Amino acid sequence: MKKVLALILALALCLGMLAGCQGETQPSENPDPGTETSQPSTPSGGEGDEAGEVAVDEWVIPVLSARTGAVSYVGEPAIWAAEYAAQVINEQGGIRGVPVRVEAYDTEFSGEVGAQIVSGLVDDSLFIVGCMAAPVSLAISTIVADAKVPNVGSYSYQEIRDENAPYLSGYMSDSEMGDLAAATEWIKENGYKKIVLFYTPSDTSQAATKKLFDEQLTEATGAEVVGTVEVETGTVDCGPAAVQALGYDADAYFVCMRADEAGKVINELRSRGVDDPATISATFAGFGSTLLDICGDNAEGIYIWNKLDPNYDSDEWRTLVEAYTEEFGEGPSAPPVTGYYNTLIAFKQCVEELGITGDPEKLQEERDAIANWFYNSPEIDGIQGTFSWVNGAMMTDPLMFRVENGEYVAVD
């Protein structure tokens, strides 16, 4: 009994001490990028001007991606693209004469794993690329923003970028905005009036698309979303979902899901009486060979949009496609490939324009400069044309395709 009393006394003392020394709970910093965000000064005018000597032997860039787990099929290509970009940069003489090295990390599909990895990187890193899945990026966003480390990852909606400005930017254009733009073009082109939306409610981006369609599609197109059908990741039988959609008596169907589920839904719609393939349009997450494999002839004539053009006409792109095909057996179709590649190329331009030195003593100053540069960047020569970041959002147009003879053909 005495021991218990002693223990309770010790704990009470401990709590009392804590109450005394407890710092106030700090509200998270939510600076408005347009108003209150501190705008750290750039460290120097530019390379060759007042730029200091480079203080590192190599630029080490941590690159995070989901190499295992639910989205590993795009996670591994993303890492490959970052390593390929580093190779291209090094062949051109590195960044300010110093080679770049990519340090790849697997965040799996887990917020906790991502947060743990990033928390181990933020103390020393100048710049972090990735991660790629919305739950993981949500989990790491506060860590990188607290540590004031610039991070280009899958921050595909403005709210999270605003909350943590200017440290977070997206490596590809906003998915839901792309969905809206692509759907608007498709609906106007074909004159549809009643639309059914298929989406996965557990996917943050797709849920955001649903919300955006509810709020803005009618205003943008005059068409109405007459029904939404939820299909969870991993659904084996999409027949009930198709039946539910057909019950809405709609003109057309927008399939906002990843390739596996999108393919099954398209098959079910086509086999249950949707004869005109133009009435089906799919989002970029379905783009790729998986959808064509699942659907076969059922995919012929459907619309689908993407953030990259697999048939883009440039020497740089063709060389990348060759290298990619050698590695993966087929050409790239997932947007993270161009996203990660372009981010590395942008980092090069940023370091050269700002005269970043990598000096540990100037770490925070240079991080701030890089973050601001990315948040509202100048025009950058990417692998598929020029692009820029505006308020952390990568600005690229959605590209519309139709499936013809088992291939994706760009639509003007």
Partner 1 sequence: MFSTGTTYFLILVIVYILLVWGALIPFRAGLLYNGTVYCMAIGGYVAGFLSKNFDLPFIVCVLAAILVGLILGFIPALGFARTNGIVTAISSMALIFILESVIRNLDFLGGSTGMTGIHKENHLLLWAVILLIIFGVFLYRLNNSRIGRAWEAIQTDPQMAQSLGVNTFWMTVAALTLSSVFSATAGAVYAFNMRVLYPGTFSFTFLLNIMTMLFVGGRYTQWGAIISCPLLWSISVFMPTSIQKLSNYIYAVILILILMLRPEGIVTRRMTNKVKNFFTAKLSRRRQGAKA
Provide the binding-site residues for partner 1, judged by CB under 8 A. 4, 7, 11, 14-15, 18, 22-23, 25-28, 30, 67-68, 103-106, 108, 110-113, 115-117, 119-123, 135, 138-139, 141-143, 146-147, 157, 159-160, 163, 201-204, 207-208
- Nearer to partner 1 among residue 54 and residue 79 (C-beta): 79
What is the rounded CA–CA span in Å between residue 143 and residue 164?
10
CA distance 342 to 63: 13
Which residues sit opposite 111 in a β-bridge?
A: none
CB of 71 to partner 1, least distance (A): 13
Closest to partner 1 by CB, 142 vs 184, is 142
CB of 9 to partner 1, least distance (A): 13
User: Minimum CB separation from partner 1 for residue 407, in Å?
Assistant: 32
> Which is nearer to partner 1, 168 or 302 (by Cβ)?
168
CB of 15: closest distance to partner 1 in angstroms?
Answer: 7
Report the nearest approach of partner 1 to the CB of residue 391 (Å). 17
- Rounded to whole angstroms, the Cα distance separating 62 from 277 reads 43
Nearer to partner 1, 2 or 91 (CB): 2
- Token readout for 405 is 């003879």
Query: C-alpha 70: how far from its chain's center?
Result: 15
Q: How far is the CB of 232 from partner 1 (least distance, A)?
A: 10
Shortest CB 157 distance to partner 1, Å: 7
Token look-up 């970028």 returns 161
The CB-of-319 to partner 1 minimum distance in angstroms stands at: 27
Query: Of all helices (H) and strands (E), which one includes residue 345?
Result: helix 335-354
Q: Which is nearer to partner 1, 223 or 229 (CB)?
A: 229
Q: Compare residues 138 and 220 and give the one whose CB is closer to partner 1.
A: 138
Q: How many CA atoms lie within 13 A of 352 on its CB side?
A: 15
Where does residue 236 rank: exposed (0-12), middle (13-18), buried (19+ CB within 10 A)? exposed
Tokens for 271, please give them.
């086999």
Which of residues 105 and 408 has its CB atom nearest to partner 1 in the complex? 105
The HSE-up count of residue 13 (CA atoms within 13 Å, CB side) is 6
Q: How far apart are alpha carbons 261 and 178 in whole angstroms?
A: 20
Distance CA 275, CA 53 (A): 65
Report yes or no: 90 and 348 within 8 Å, Cβ to Cβ.
Answer: no
Q: Is there a contact between 107 and 113 (Cβ–Cβ < 8 Å)? A: yes
- Cβ atoms < 10 Å from Cβ of 66: 29
Classify the C-alpha dihedral 129-315-332-267 as positive or negative.
positive
CB-nearer residue toward partner 1: 56 or 138: 138
